[in-house]
Structure 1
Amino acid sequence: MANRIVRAVRLLREDLQAARDRDPAARTTAEIVLAYPGLHALWSHRLTHKMWQTRALKLPARLISQFTRSLTGVEIHPGATLGRRIFIDHGMGVVIGETAVVGNGVTMFHGVTLGGRSMSHGKRHPTIGDNVVIGAGAKVLGAIWVGDGAQIGANAVVVKEVPPGAVAVGVPAKVKDRPKAAPEVDQCEDPAIFI
């Protein structure tokens, strides 16, 4: 029991640090804890995802996730698998589907959808690699893979796989030449595409 508590506290601290590291507007830990809806949605998801693993708790997990959606504007299905150090900036309008998998260190801006393109059961949402940046309003649809360090431009509609370190922009999204190393957001040619 003590190990679980220690792990949970470590995870919460990582979430706070991710917000502090990736949001230049973050001033204090208290402000982040009290006023960041993306963080609240993430914390709620960590609880509902655990509940989702138990058949008898699936309905309560869905109800809590929907209540969280009404409070934060962020809808994360309890079945989605989220990594560590994720940062959802602003949050409003973010939707993450049931079979989505999101890696570690991912940054998402408002209006992002990780959605499906099929009504069939099974894997129908994207898998997002580590350290991916997904710009505001971007839609990543279907059981596709977005590689580590990739960047998805604002309002892009991604329906095909994105290689590691690549930049995908447009509707439908096209992959631009891959940089030699995945750049930080503030080192991109045009950082405005991510806002």
Structure 2
Amino acid sequence: MNNLPLDGTPLASGPLTRAVLEIDEYTAGLGWDQPARLFALVNTARLRAEEPGLAGQLGLDEAPDSENGGEGGPGGDRSLTPVEQDEIPEGAPLDEFLGTIGWPDTVDGCAVTVERLMLPPSAETSVPGDLDDEQLATWVAEHPERREVRMTVAVLRDGQRESALRLREKDTPTEVLTGSELVPGLAEALSATFEE
């Protein structure tokens, strides 16, 4: 069975997965070698009602609630709209930067995209144990089995998580891997931005 609609984007089951794949598709359109990007995730129906100007700029003013994965009825539209935030300061460690963020109550979740080098599990046993962070980064960058990956990780206030991984060597929408526990450390750091 084909899991692709006409535009080629994989179908997704829930609002958070759809938001993660939407962010992945957006960042894929920008190409590789991009800085990390931060997004607020807001309820689409509430955004239309409370911020019609912003909803119009995002092209959401014309879509009925049943589109974008929303569900009508008493629960209203449950779809999520990613809203890109200001740039993450260049050179700032991502975990330290995330530790400075707090979100208003109108934000239901957040997401970040970041590019990294990864090694397969088979290569992890050969990592020298006496390297500092900078030396380790250099060692990984020079390893013949390294892979470039773009990670999109999102969390909601209620604890839900979702991630999408895209390898540079398999840069197509059909090769994007999704799952809630693919990048647990980054998901934890994002969840901490909602703690008081």
Output the TM-score relative to the length of structure 2.
0.25
Output the TM-score relative to the length of structure 1.
0.25
Higher relative contact order (CA 8 A, sep 6+): 2
